[in-house]
Amino acid sequence: MDATTAVLVFGGVVLLAGSWIQLIFTATAEDFTWGLCSVFLPPLAYFYGLFEWSKAGDAIKMAIVGLVMIGCGLA
């Protein structure tokens, strides 16, 4: 694994983790139950973000950039 691959994968993982945390805060502000579900079931947080695009669109965009970075790093 060269340095470029490591940077892309690590950056992508950091962006994914950051987007998940941002989605937890957004979901908790909407409803405490959504916040708890987002903590214990991370895919549900992204599902919530797709339906509440006006509130969680930035976190979803950050997750997409993170996935693209991981994909480029592993390709």
pLDDT tens across 12-55, in order?
999 999 999 999 998 899 889 888 888 898 888 888 888 888 88
**How many structural domains comprise the chain?**
1
Nearest to 49 by CA among 16, 20, 14: 20
- Quick one: pLDDT band at residue 2, thresholds 50, 70, 90? confident
Provide the pLDDT for residue 52: 84
Count the neighbouring beta carbons within 10 Å of the beta carbon of residue 19.
24
pLDDT at 68 over 90: yes
What is the average per-residue pLDDT within 7-16?
95
| Structural domain for 23, as ranges | 3-74
